[in-house]
Amino acid sequence: MTLMPVEQALHLISQAFTPLGSEIIPLDQALGRTTAIDHQAALTQPPFDASAMDGYAVRAEDLKDGPTELKLIGEAPAGQHFTGTVIAGTAVRIFTGGPVPAGADTVIMQENTTRPDDHCIRITVPAEKGRNIRPAGNDFSHGQILVKQGTVLTARHIGMMAAANIAHPSVTIKPRIALLSTGDELVQVGETPGPGQIINSNNLLLSTLISENGGIAVDLGIARDNRTALEDRIALLDKQQDIDLFITIGGASVGDHDLVQDVLGQHGLKVNFWKLAIRPGKPMIFGHFKNCPMIGLPGNPASAYVCAVNFLVPALHIMLGRQNTGAPISIARLAHDLPENGARQDYMRAHFTEDDTGAKIVTALPRQDSAKLSSLALANCLLIRPPHATAAKSGTSVSILHLTKE
Ligand SMILES: Nc1nc2c(c(=O)[nH]1)N[C@H]1C(S)=C(S)[C@@H](COP(=O)(O)OP(=O)(O)OC[C@H]3O[C@@H](n4cnc5c(N)ncnc54)[C@H](O)[C@@H]3O)O[C@H]1N2
Ligand code: MOO
């Protein structure tokens, strides 16, 4: 059977998804959500010409002939307007954030003044017109687009949106991803495995990856390796509302107990493709189960993860309407030689660092067995080797797919 190239598989999977609808939520719950529309400032910031320093609001014109004394005619603390006007020979006491009074065009820091008496200040430094004043709209203006559609909101965006009084942003609905683990050997984390049993680590590996990428994982539990057990779990899927993507874990290969395709096929699974030119992850399935897109991930943890990063995460990002849907890829130099690659695109667990010039240097981790979680946890990137890549010497440029946001 020919194996489907990774790019073609990604293209077919990408075509199966479109952005979900939107909802309005309170800004304090918007961290990590994706904006569904462009968001405009609901006000101008600062709303008035504001002082950037504690000091005195003056007219620069009054200071052009060297050290000068000016009459103090009032105060403009933050939050209060001085209602008068600064005319020739006068100044107003002002504080950081305070509105600059009419007539004044400059603020002198208080450190550059003396107070001969309560009603007068002496200024010894020359004044540069406009100094220490933040003009109205200096940060942003009413109606200005501050956050573009498809932006993943961080604390920094949320702080700015708060300042712009965008109290209820419109964000895309979180995709709901159903996860069905399969295998007689699996017990849940925290339970004590019996003879021949292991922990269902893939469920948490994937549900956490889904949360990290803006989705909601809906756990359908573990189906044992028999038809009835699988059918019972599939029935749980029917009871779930609004599942946007159905993921099975394990049972994707050709063994006697690998029943996923067979059983799901009898209940409406239409397979779009099976088996990819990818390592690890070759037996991945993509199809539609009763109109719901379905990805059958291989059971080996590194295989499941590599497939999830390459296909599940982009699908999530498309559903979320994010600006960047592809995996973050950059170029790094090999820290060592690598042998030629086989027919599958290899995603080697690897670790990169940056040298003094900012160039990335990447080292493939020594243990690439697709069952090994220890090397997966140590990796901060996947080193991509195209199918049939020739042997590469240390120093050769290669592509790396970033796993952490460094
Ligand atoms: N004769 C062949 N055998 C295999 C082939 C092949 O082409 N011909 N492909 C191999 C490849 S490549 C992979 S990858 C695996 C994938 O197999 P399955 O998807 O059928 O996965 P299982 O057999 O169910 O499990 C494989 C492995 O992973 C462990 N596992 C399964 N689920 C979980 C889980 N939720 N959490 C943690 N670990 C899990 C399971 O215990 C097995 O050790 O097939 C090869 N075989
Ligand atoms: O391609 Mo499988 O994913 O070796 O382990």
Which residues lie with the beta carbon below 6 Å from any ligand 2 atom? 279-282, 298, 300, 303, 370
| Domain 329-401: assigned CATH number | 2.40.340.10
| Domains 6-20+173-320 and 50-134 fall in the same CATH topology | no
Task: Say yes or no: CB of residue 254 within 6 Å of ligand 1.
Answer: yes
Nearest protein Cα to ligand 1, atom 25: 299
Which two structure tokens, joined as six digits, stand for 182?
Answer: 């399969």
Q: Which of 258, 282, 309, 341 to mutate to test the pocket of ligand 2 (most atoms within 8 A of CB)?
A: 282
Ligand 2 closest atom vs CA 344: 1
Per-residue pLDDT of the chain (406 residues; tens, 9 = 90+): 789 999 999 999 999 999 999 999 999 999 999 999 999 999 999 999 999 999 999 999 999 988 999 999 999 888 888 999 999 999 999 999 999 999 999 999 999 999 999 899 999 888 899 999 999 999 999 999 999 999 999 999 999 999 999 999 999 999 999 999 999 999 999 999 999 999 999 999 999 999 999 999 999 999 999 999 999 999 999 888 799 999 999 998 877 777 899 999 999 999 999 999 999 999 999 999 999 999 999 999 999 999 999 999 999 999 999 988 778 899 999 999 999 999 999 999 999 999 999 999 999 999 899 999 999 999 999 999 999 999 999 999 999 999 975 4
| Domain 27-43+142-172: assigned CATH number | 3.90.105.10
- Interface confidence, given as ipTM, is 0.97
Ligand 2 closest atom vs CA 370: 5
- Residue 58 CA to residue 129 CA, distance in Å, equals 9
Spacing, Cα 132 to ligand 2 middle (Å): 63
Spacing, Cα 304 to ligand 1 middle (Å): 9
Nearest protein Cα to ligand 1, atom 5: 253
- Residue 404 CA to residue 406 CA, distance in Å, equals 6
CATH T-level fold of 6-20+173-320: Molybdenum Cofactor Biosythetic Enzyme; Chain A (3.40.980)
Task: Say yes or no: CB of residue 296 within 6 Å of ligand 1.
Answer: no
Task: Say yes or no: CB of residue 250 within 6 Å of ligand 1.
Answer: yes
Task: Say yes or no: CB of residue 200 within 6 Å of ligand 1.
Answer: yes
**Domain extents in the chain:** 6-20+173-320, 27-43+142-172, 50-134, 329-401
Q: Which of the following CATH numbers is that of domain 50-134: 3.40.50.300, 1.20.1260.10, 2.170.190.11, 3.30.9.10?
A: 2.170.190.11
Q: Which of 187, 297, 300, 369 to mutate to test the pocket of ligand 1 (most atoms within 8 A of CB)?
A: 300
Nearest protein Cα to ligand 1, atom 12: 282
Task: Say yes or no: CB of residue 183 within 6 Å of ligand 1.
Answer: yes
- Residue 294 CA to residue 24 CA, distance in Å, equals 29
Ligand 2 closest atom vs CA 300: 5
Angle, vertex CA 121, rays to CA 117 and CA 124, nearest 5: 130
Give the other-Cβ count within 10 Å of 26's Cβ. Answer: 9
- Residue 227 CA to residue 334 CA, distance in Å, equals 47
